[in-house]
Structure 1
């Protein structure tokens, strides 16, 4: 807090200082000449207290104080008034009884005592910056030790000699001085622990030092040669107002004290303090006889202080032990956090690499690299909280599968690894993991499929090469249908590298127009007329030729390129459909059906892309059928809202590969489907009347009929299958026997021939 621009109270400090100098000069003149009454020395203290009160009032009016500081300085100012009045009454008594020295009038003692109590209350209310109960108790013990040490010294060297002085003091004077001694001891111990705040530390120290004036008064009183009462009144006591004026000046120019640590050495000084009287008693045994009662008190205080210090040391030892234990626990926790995944508690990549390097420095290492298949769809459909819960549950699966044979780790996202201690146990760990993922896990009871790659390297091999081999084996496992594990064999890394290269080439293919759309007919099983088409993407690579979707679609999914690829297929399909509509009219083809991946459904622009494709080509919405693979991801609230809005515009939705996903029946009740496509796995063998295929085909047809949905049988490869499906009630089919994927021009030719034949008939 700085001043407000009014003159600082230097003038009060100057006046107080002049009073102190005047007292010294007067006493020197008086002691040499003996001229004048001794009562003059009594006038300096009340004059100084009036000056100190004026300094405090000036400072409080010119400085914007915080409430705590305002309360402190207000109480000190209030203390100055009864002190000034008490000492003024004592001065009056001195002149009245001159040349005899006066005894302190009872009223004067009461006023001075009240002023001292007010000052003690002000110092006691200053906050010391300690909040916790334990810290307050610990500091209270320290302050008690320091207080008793101060009391011992002040009693032995101050009050006791004063009581034994040749000119005994009056009872009120002794009581006042003892109260001042208490203020001195309390102020010293309190001020030593003030760490900072709105009341300036140095200013409070100056106020606390005023209590030491009482000690000086007692020292003078115990020295007969100086007629101690006179120098006490003329020299010592005027120092008190000077200290108060200096404190006011200090607070006036202070911007607030910076927080500092409270003194921790004061209790030890207290031990030294109580030893000083004991040393005197040992050096001067006569003192034992001269002041036997006072000696017993000093010894008793020394014993109490020593006992309290012992307690303090015990508490400090216990606290230090606890702090050391907490530090060790904190260090262990930090080491664990630095080397373990915070979500799953598994070893992280850093620790895994350290353990792998240690293993390769020895006989060798075996690594099982693991990737959770389609984990992103869980985050997209159920939210990241559900994804985190699934990762936690999967970590427990890894711990169980590893057992005592290895150390599981989470490397990143849904990528995990197990460092297997013995190469011979690698296959066992992989099989245990495969079996453990055949049942649902986690609070949402989700079925997790993983692809894993197993690789072994001898001692001295590079960790990066071992991880590359395990990663290559994992990629091969994904290629073989996921939910599988593969042991690394030489050359597998070439396939993984080709996969990465394929992703880069696909990006160029999108920009270079290498992708094209072909159309597989959807035909009526009775007369084999084409009623619609499914749009399929093909890649004509300038070097490798035609690349199968089975090769580049996984790369597109992993790189995120499936979104622009799907957008291209959607727009090209709508363009071709608009051309057929213009050429053949609305009755020639009733549907065009591009496939939509889960990644597309979660793309925030997907709905806008569909609407734009329809509007740009003026295509009726009911002509477009979006084929969606049956999946739990379709239950995502966000995906469900998007599909319901598109369905509301007239776009039709087809559940592709029906019967292979999860909870097919419940999905039909909540999903706005129009068409159900029987998966080809249930068509295969139906011509041989295999019970499983026939029963499922019949059940799907009846289920779809119950919900008012159209059915299409996929994968029709021969005439016997077509006839069998027709007898089961299916009217539409799709497969190589009914029509292979072909260009738009080839479809145009077939549809034109169909229309010509129908016109001729």
Structure 2
């Protein structure tokens, strides 16, 4: 048996022994009366030991120690005081003993210590308002409880024919005060270092004083003896149970506090009032008991009225806050938090309402190249730009339109007068001519204007405006277009194209073709560029110019690029296995910026090489300048690929603004001269401005690459004259339709076989 339960069993045994002794004494009269006074000091001493064992076993918080240590000392003081009373009982014989003054001091000190311990328990309330409300509740409960204890416990002792001694009355008053205060306090402990149930058990010990008083007043000699033998020893049992409860709960507990005690106090105070009403002696001249009880009841009732007023005010405040919160939630549900404009949901409500009885016009506005602002300057700058543009858009729309932010950088203006749609569109275009936001950024927008008659679905009108906006973007951006019938067909075709592309990836409709990369001096194939082609089952061959943008837009470029990469590695490994290591220096698939942002891209490249047994030096990844200029994350990926041994080619070199600076940070191995510097190079006559400029760029690129240790490839060679001119300028490798068109893997295999036969001959 654990130590806490040993103390509980011990105190319970002492209580049972007291019951048995009293039964024997009451029935037979055998034994000295003084023996009944031994049970109280014994049980209180054991109760103190139970608390001591609990304090050693449980790591209590300081506030918990401040409660349990005074209660433990109180137990020892009680044991000492009632020991003196027991000694006095044996001295006086069969008479009832009077409480010795020293015993009264010890017991009174114990009660005061216990009251201090209860008062030191924190209630967990911090705000001044909550503390005031709680003190009001506790005052109501204290008065109600004290009135009951006074009426049924203390008052009969004070007015008894044989008055009690001053020391006994003092002890009884302290015990009743402890009981009332403890019960009130424990009801409001919401959590903390003292378990509420444990404290309730300790607080209940004060009720034994009321039991002693009632028994003593009613029974006299026959009441005082059972009070000492039965009621008072229960205090030690309650204390031992409280210590056991605290030890099982641990150091800190959390439980909800009571809110019903003030109302219970009202009911409790009505009991002595009812008793006084039907007891004529309480209203006799000179007797103040009845008036005191009524006064207490009136006071409690008044305090309850005050409490109800406080609760009413609090409820009114909570109701106001609820209404404010609901209004805020309604606003947040229908407005954009960044710009404060209406959101898509509210705009649809406006549009539905407008289309019920009249025509409506929608201007759909989209910021051109807004993603570049986010990527280059950061999202905070992008957010500030959106907020600034929202203000400019509202000013441009004026009284003619209602503005909303639909999503991202897409805005809409509802214009109820169709005749004013063009004017609003022109004002919006003019508003973007000035710098926006605190960062003074210039932006351009594309806008689509569409009008619909009454009864048109809002979704249809928005689709028309969206089609017009995309038409504006295709015309070069920074302009607006009015919707015309059939304008949505290309957009719908693009949308269907994305779905078909997903199916094509799943069903194997895509294939890889290879364009030779040739030595300009001898015409020997040195490598191949891997390109993807799509044979649509209904539309036939789909141009890469159509489906590659659809793949970029839908994100399918990532699985598409993975397919091309793996197929190119597989085919290159097969050629090397069939024709030997000299047949092919490199296979070069293209890589998009979306692939470089894919967190699994490097792992995909490593897996493709490992799965097909292709050396990383045979793989060349071709990237455009726009893909490389996408931040530190892309550069880290490129350096990781370079460290693997994979070679990187900078495609379309010379067309960007940062071509030369790129070569300092980008780990390139190959530079591909853009086709624009090759077109017409064979027609340039020496000495002319065009010839000098074109050839100067071509010569500068090959010389710069040579100085940096980079290989060069001239793209877009369409005839032999171009090849000869580039060879004289220093280029040794070229690519173009004149040197070889993109063909199937089987045709490249036949070409390698022919090269091997020619070499053998």
Taking structure 2 as the reference length, the TM-score comes to 0.70
Q: Deviations over 1:128-172 (max 9, x none)?
A: 565777645543443244335545665677656755655444432
Distance 1:197 1:241 in 2: 29
Find the residue that maps to 1:517 and give its secondary structure: strand
Corresponding residue for residue 47 of structure 1? 39
Is 1:672 the counterpart of 2:682 in the alignment?
A: no
Moved more, 336-345 or 111-120: 336-345
1:258-337 to structure 2, matched below 5 A, reads 259-266=255-262, 269=265, 273=269, 290=286, 316-317=311-312, 319-335=314-330
Find the residue that maps to 2:541 and give its secondary structure: strand
Q: Deviations over 1:272-322 (max 9, x none)?
A: 8499789979x9999798479x99999998998788767756654554444
Distance apart, 1:340 and its partner CA: 5.7
Check the 8 A contact 2:512/2:530 in 1, yes or no: no
Check the 8 A contact 2:515/2:741 in 1, yes or no: yes
Is 1:174 the counterpart of 2:169 in the alignment?
A: yes
Distance 2:740 2:429 in 1: 37
Corresponding residue for residue 517 of structure 1? 513
Q: Deviations over 1:360-412 (max 9, x none)?
A: 44535555556777888999x78xxx87546634542552354163343455x
Check the 8 A contact 1:344/1:391 in 2, yes or no: no
Distance 2:53 2:97 in 1: 38
Distance 1:214 1:637 in 2: 81
Count of aligned pairs between the two proteins: 733
Check the 8 A contact 2:81/2:106 in 1, yes or no: yes
Find the residue that maps to 2:637 and give its secondary structure: helix
Corresponding residue for residue 400 of structure 1? 391
Corresponding residue for residue 759 of structure 2? none
Q: 2:17 aligns with which of 15, 18, 42?
A: 15
Corresponding residue for residue 495 of structure 1? 490
Is 1:108 the counterpart of 2:103 in the alignment?
A: yes
1:338-349 to structure 2, matched below 5 A, reads 338-339=333-334
Q: Is the alpha carbon distance of 1:473 and 1:138 closer, same or farther for their aligned partners in structure 2, counting shifts above 3 Å?
A: same
Check the 8 A contact 2:684/2:690 in 1, yes or no: no
Distance apart, 1:533 and its partner CA: 7.7
Moved more, 532-541 or 639-648: 532-541
Q: Is the alpha carbon distance of 1:704 and 1:20 closer, same or farther for their aligned partners in structure 2, counting shifts above 3 Å?
A: farther
Find the residue that maps to 1:631 and give its secondary structure: helix
Check the 8 A contact 2:434/2:442 in 1, yes or no: yes
Find the residue that maps to 1:596 and give its secondary structure: coil
Distance 1:754 1:36 in 2: 131
1:525-604 to structure 2, matched below 5 A, reads 536-567=531-562, 594-604=589-599
Find the residue that maps to 2:590 and give its secondary structure: strand
Check the 8 A contact 1:516/1:540 in 2, yes or no: no
Distance apart, 1:326 and its partner CA: 3.9
Check the 8 A contact 1:517/1:573 in 2, yes or no: no
Moved more, 203-212 or 254-263: 254-263
Check the 8 A contact 1:63/1:252 in 2, yes or no: no
Distance 1:422 1:719 in 2: 64
1:605-684 to structure 2, matched below 5 A, reads 606-607=601-602, 626-631=621-626, 634-647=629-642, 653-657=648-652, 661=656, 663-664=658-659, 666-673=661-668, 674-675=670-671, 677-678=673-674, 680=676
Check the 8 A contact 2:362/2:451 in 1, yes or no: yes
Corresponding residue for residue 232 of structure 2? 240
Distance 2:243 2:81 in 1: 27
Q: Is the alpha carbon distance of 1:203 and 1:492 closer, same or farther for their aligned partners in structure 2, counting shifts above 3 Å?
A: same
Q: Is the alpha carbon distance of 1:419 and 1:652 closer, same or farther for their aligned partners in structure 2, counting shifts above 3 Å?
A: same
Check the 8 A contact 1:368/1:420 in 2, yes or no: yes
Check the 8 A contact 2:450/2:464 in 1, yes or no: yes
Corresponding residue for residue 139 of structure 1? 134
Distance apart, 1:109 and its partner CA: 0.9
Check the 8 A contact 2:195/2:245 in 1, yes or no: no
Distance 2:392 2:516 in 1: 45
Distance apart, 1:553 and its partner CA: 1.3
Q: Is the alpha carbon distance of 1:15 and 1:633 closer, same or farther for their aligned partners in structure 2, counting shifts above 3 Å?
A: farther
Is 1:420 the counterpart of 2:414 in the alignment?
A: yes
Corresponding residue for residue 758 of structure 1? none
Distance 2:220 2:117 in 1: 28
1:714-753 to structure 2, matched below 5 A, reads 741=741, 743=743
Please give the root-mean-square deviation of Cα atoms over the aligned residues, in Å: 6.4
Q: Is the alpha carbon distance of 1:248 and 1:642 closer, same or farther for their aligned partners in structure 2, counting shifts above 3 Å?
A: closer
Q: 1:184 aligns with which of 179, 185, 188?
A: 179
Distance 2:461 2:579 in 1: 60
Distance apart, 1:550 and its partner CA: 1.8
Distance apart, 1:107 and its partner CA: 0.6
Corresponding residue for residue 85 of structure 2? 90
Distance 1:344 1:531 in 2: 57
What are structure 1's unaligned runs of at least 5 residues?
A: 30-34, 756-761
Distance 2:164 2:495 in 1: 102
Find the residue that maps to 2:501 and give its secondary structure: helix
Find the residue that maps to 1:420 and give its secondary structure: strand
Q: Is the alpha carbon distance of 1:180 and 1:563 closer, same or farther for their aligned partners in structure 2, counting shifts above 3 Å?
A: closer
Moved more, 514-523 or 111-120: 514-523
Q: Deviations over 1:589-617 (max 9, x none)?
A: 99876533212333455456667878999
What are structure 2's unaligned runs of at least 5 residues?
A: 757-761
Distance 1:62 1:584 in 2: 86
Distance apart, 1:80 and its partner CA: 3.9
